[in-house]
Structure 1
């Protein structure tokens, strides 16, 4: 099967408006979780969020759009990261419009980020707004298709927190099987009353910056962002800058509970084992794990147990959600970008604010940024509601 190479990346999160800013924040252990300024919610002054620093007006302006274009914040975040990724890969319009170029994106919130306007339109409280066709999960994907004249296969995935990891998985499979030469993969989610109220009802939001894998963790912080990666088959990527390979992937479902993982980590263990096996490596060859690490009581205990079952000796691991908050449908792609940066620059990023590791396990996450750390393979975990578990293995070029 064809090797899948990563030739371009674009990202926007609470720790940076582009790839360079995100990388700098990771190196400096600078988190982006705090007070929200652009998100209008009852909980705005009660809870911390991983909010992107650019306002809606800033994002529209950057894309040369006006409010009357019907673009939601979800759409403009996607556009910002997507545009950076294709520029980073040096793609021409001809290449973007090629039938061999596919687009697979992901989102859980979609256009519901403008929850109040959705309520008005859905209940006929006013004349139909400019956003009537923008509420669906796939609205941002359709905007990208229209703007960049993408003619190849397109799809939008919603499997909760594993959504954009599954976009990467599907994109890699399309290339490996010869069904596409190039696939642009990723995901996006914006902060929304819809999701904040929902997660608050589950009683898993923390009133302080989150502490993944800490014994005294008390919940997650919601964040927003977008990330896209350009995947290309080895035969068309010759001569290009290549960050890493998509070496392996695994997906499973433990079918245990709508919003919790099974205590015996059956789904997580299976997805990690599948990813490592499909990469053709031994678990001992994984140099770093970018864990799902939401900072909820259930996830961190189950994931830690799963790691001890898959690995005889658990490699360095951390949760970069301690920087960005949980970006939901964007999380898999955001953390894929961070995993690739780890390989490309030989460094490992910290899991912030850990004081006492999760008990009864004796393995603590990486507490400080590490440079000059040889990283050949990274395992990135994304575990979604309903037990949809996806693990990806990224490899160093030449490994």
Structure 2
């Protein structure tokens, strides 16, 4: 595998509007899961969410965009995270617009985040809303492409919760084959009635902030976020100081077991991790930390733990940072990839919050407190989506 490195990162989530703010919250065990302030829903009073603490109006003003031009919340948070990532990577306007720059993004709800407007527009009730042309899942990416005048390869992925992890993997393949010189990869999903109602129908939403890997876990907490990383070939990076981490490998598979659950024998999660290790030319004992998928649902946490027990002779430190931000759907893979890179850079592990009684079926347990001064060279980051989509990424220190 051609050595691929991360040269820029950008993120907005319920625990921070920038990478620096996210890092501060991770270090200080500050969760962003609470009652929603901006999201209007029938369930806003009974459920908690990982909501970004910034209104649409504030985002429009910060990004110097005009109201009335169809900028959905999915697009607004995507543009904010994208801007931080390209600035961090020191990309010029010419670099961003180059035909040698690819943009691979992802979303599950896309422009359907304004579900009420979608309903009225689809049923031709009253005058068309400003979003009538912006409901596609790819709209946020198209808006960014137009804003920056991008001319390179553009694609949008939807493989549910593994979407942005797959976007990163696709970006790496484009670099390996020499089709592009840099890739901006990630995803964006905001809270939406469409999503909340769908997950609520599955009865997997918790009324209290989620507690992944706890025996008494009751379900997941939905969150919203956008995040992007800039990928380049290491050989093309003239300034070593730009390199944030090495993207060592990835594994993608589908266990084809169930529309919304992983198999009891965890064959999908285990195979994804095995493929990532093989591609990175690493063995299980080389991994010092796992940023687990860890949704807080009964099925996921049990099967993921089972996969750990089968793959690792000694399970390394692991935790679910979804306990901070909730499940951010298409953005989860890239956001947790960034958190994995921060773990490497700062040599620290961010815990699974609110775990009072770890799952008793196994002899190991997640990290329960912020743990600094940990020697971390390789991190495995898991993203397992609906439909059996399983993806594992490995990030490594640049030595």
Shorter-chain TM-score bucket reads over 0.9
Quick one: distance in 1 between partners of 2:278 and 2:126?
55
Q: Which residue of 2 aligns with 1:382?
A: 383
Determine whether 1:396 maps to 2:389: no
Q: Which residue of 1 aligns with 2:250?
A: 249
> CA offset at residue 6 of structure 1?
0.4
Q: Which residue of 2 aligns with 1:71?
A: 71
Determine whether 1:307 maps to 2:308: yes
Q: Which residue of 1 aligns with 2:167?
A: 167
Q: Determine helix, strand or coil for the equivalent of 2:364.
A: coil
Quick one: distance in 2 between partners of 1:288 and 1:128?
50
Quick one: distance in 2 between partners of 1:285 and 1:231?
23
> CA offset at residue 132 of structure 1?
1.4
> CA offset at residue 2 of structure 1?
2.4
Residues 215-246 of structure 1 show CA distances to partners (whole Å, capped at 9, x for unaligned) of: 10000000001000000111321214111011
Q: Which residue of 1 aligns with 2:10?
A: 10
Quick one: distance in 1 between partners of 2:212 and 2:396?
25
Q: Determine helix, strand or coil for the equivalent of 2:242.
A: coil
Structure 2 gaps, min length 5: none
Quick one: distance in 1 between partners of 2:313 and 2:134?
48
Q: Which residue of 2 aligns with 1:317?
A: 318
Quick one: distance in 1 between partners of 2:237 and 2:30?
34
Q: Determine helix, strand or coil for the equivalent of 1:66.
A: coil
Quick one: distance in 1 between partners of 2:65 and 2:181?
31
Quick one: distance in 2 between partners of 1:241 and 1:65?
30
Determine whether 1:336 maps to 2:337: yes
Quick one: distance in 2 between partners of 1:10 and 1:276?
26
Q: Determine helix, strand or coil for the equivalent of 2:229.
A: strand
Quick one: distance in 2 between partners of 1:374 and 1:149?
42
Counterparts in 2 of 1:10-159, with a 5 A limit? 10-159=10-159
Quick one: distance in 1 between partners of 2:182 and 2:373?
32
Q: Determine helix, strand or coil for the equivalent of 1:203.
A: coil
Structure 1 gaps, min length 5: none
> CA offset at residue 359 of structure 1?
2.7
Q: Which residue of 2 aligns with 1:276?
A: 277
The alignment's TM-score, normalised by the length of structure 1, stands at: 0.99
> CA offset at residue 258 of structure 1?
0.6
Q: Which residue of 1 aligns with 2:198?
A: 198
Q: Determine helix, strand or coil for the equivalent of 1:276.
A: helix
Greater shift, 236-245 or 280-289, is seen at 236-245
> CA offset at residue 177 of structure 1?
1.9
Quick one: distance in 1 between partners of 2:327 and 2:36?
14
Residues 312-331 of structure 1 show CA distances to partners (whole Å, capped at 9, x for unaligned) of: 11100000000000000100
Q: CA RMSD in A?
A: 0.8
The alignment's TM-score, normalised by the length of structure 2, stands at: 0.99
> CA offset at residue 275 of structure 1?
0.3
Quick one: distance in 1 between partners of 2:346 and 2:238?
21
Quick one: distance in 2 between partners of 1:284 and 1:220?
30
Contact preservation (8 Å) 1:2, 1:178 = no
Quick one: distance in 2 between partners of 1:175 and 1:352?
37
Residues 28-76 of structure 1 show CA distances to partners (whole Å, capped at 9, x for unaligned) of: 0110000100000000010010000000101111110122121000000
Determine whether 1:326 maps to 2:327: yes
Contact preservation (8 Å) 1:164, 1:330 = yes
Determine whether 1:366 maps to 2:364: no
Q: Which residue of 1 aligns with 2:230?
A: 230
Counterparts in 2 of 1:277-292, with a 5 A limit? 277-292=278-293
Quick one: distance in 2 between partners of 1:237 and 1:371?
30
Quick one: distance in 2 between partners of 1:133 and 1:359?
50
Residues 236-290 of structure 1 show CA distances to partners (whole Å, capped at 9, x for unaligned) of: 2121411101100000101011111110001101000000110011110001000
